[in-house]
Amino acid sequence: MSADGAKLPVVLVAAVADNGVIGSENSLIWRLKTDMRRFRALTMGCPIIMGRKTFLSIGKPLPGRHTVVLTRDPDFRAEGVEVATSLEEALALAQRLGAQKGASAVIIGGGSEIYALALPLVDRLELTFVHAAPEGDAEFPSWDRAAFRETSRSDHPASAEDEHAFSFASFERRI
């Protein structure tokens, strides 16, 4: 909840290839510096919920963001993060942390299992559509596009900093 008691919006942030792939062997599978800058801008100052495998692939809490690790392992501990064993617990914790820090949103940061759990509850999607079809073992879950309204889109070519062309798209849940 925000300082005025209102619930912070829940925002899912993901990069998804044209074939739905989001990763392979718990790693990113493309180099898109522009997308990394956007991810940082969207998430800075916000609590971010991520799964244990995603957290372990990063290896540390993200600077400037309060990390909530969602795991089925009740004994999981890591320095500098909060741990939750259910999505409801993670969301309540992130809402509380966000309100304390004056955050603008609660972020859902992956991976695919966490995205699938959270999709029915998110208020907004911030997606990067990567125009490539890489091999991978993690996919973005199917989602009901009719439940969301696209509010913006910008297309970007491949460049020295970005190995694939991509599009940034924002979607808001229809009420």
The predicted-structure confidence for 134-143, as pLDDT tens digits, reads as follows 999 999 999 9
Rounded to an integer, the average pLDDT of 100-122 is 96
Please give the sequence-ordered ranges of beta strands (E in DSSP) within 112-160, or none if there are none.
124-130, 138-139, 148-156
What pLDDT, on a 0 to 100 scale, did the predictor assign at position 4? 55
Q: Which of 27-31, 40-44, 45-49 has the lowest mean pLDDT?
A: 27-31
Annotation: CATH topology of 10-173: Dihydrofolate Reductase, subunit A (3.40.430)
At 61, the pLDDT band (50, 70, 90 cuts) reads very high
> For the whole model, what pTM was predicted?
0.94
What pLDDT, on a 0 to 100 scale, did the predictor assign at position 5? 61
Rounded to an integer, the average pLDDT of 15-28 is 93
What pLDDT, on a 0 to 100 scale, did the predictor assign at position 70? 98
At 26, the pLDDT band (50, 70, 90 cuts) reads confident
Spatial separation of the C-alpha atoms in residues 116 and 25, rounded to whole Å? 18
Percent of the chain with pLDDT over 70: 97
Rounded to an integer, the average pLDDT of 130-154 is 96
Rounded to an integer, the average pLDDT of 143-152 is 96
What pLDDT, on a 0 to 100 scale, did the predictor assign at position 34? 97
SS3 call for 11 = strand
The ranges assigned to domains in the chain are: 10-173
DSSP one-letter string for 34-83:
HHHHHHHHHHTTS-EEEEHHHHHHH-SPPTTS-EEEE-S-TT---TTEEE
pLDDT at 120 over 90: yes
In the predicted model, what is the mean pLDDT of the chain? 95
Cβ neighbors of 161 (< 8 A, separation 6 or more) are 31, 32, 33, 34
pLDDT at 82 over 70: yes
